[in-house]
Chains A and B, each alone.
Chain A
């Protein structure tokens, strides 16, 4: 299962776009990339998943380059409530549940 590396922390201001990059150099062919958000004392919440190129949903976009060795979660116009820890996980199907949670990125949004 691919190991992931993310920045430990990031700061932003309300209304800005935030991009969090995750490195996963040994991603396997069948692996998907999934991002989760976690607030204190809560379980992680699914944000977005992708395999290649770009994926967009109502809350975020996920950019994946052709070599898939990294991915970037983009949060448009963040608000104070987006302050949380963000994790990227790499894995395939049922095995994705065994993916190792890295340290995650603590995003702090300031007013």
Chain B
């Protein structure tokens, strides 16, 4: 079945630094990928829609200059958290859809801790 690989699975960084998270569709092409954020004991919140070859679409309240999304190929989308602060600490998850399959495939998530 469709596989989405997300890397790294966890990362700790210092306040003020930037962190890049990668999301790859391993066995299918994805023109669209989605990025979510999930705080402890809460549901997933959609942050943005990543579109291959064009600008990402951000949900209301999500700072596009802080959460940079690049979807340079049909199999890779990256989320860069710039100038990270402790309040950015969260679980970040990506998803994509294999058009030949059913439903969406999610990555395994990235636990970001900003200290």
Contacts and interface: CB of A to CB of B under 8 A. Distances in A.
Interface of A: 34, 36, 41-46, 49, 87, 94, 96-98, 100-104
Contacts of B103: 34, 36, 46, 49, 96
B95 A97 contact: yes
Q: Is the interface of B mostly helix, strand, loop or mixed?
A: strand
Given A41-B91, A94-B97, A97-B34, A46 B102 contact: yes
Given A46-B104, A104-B43, 9 more contacts: A34-B104, A41-B91, A43-B94, A44-B44, A44-B93, A49-B103, A94-B32, A96-B104, A101-B45
Contacts, number: 55
Contacts of A45: 106
Interface stretch (B64-72, B80-88, B107-115): B107-115
Contacts of B45: 101
A103 B109 contact: no
Nearest to A57: B102
Interface string B4-15: 101000000000
A88 B95 CA distance: 16
B32 A43 contact: no
B75 to A, nearest CB: 16
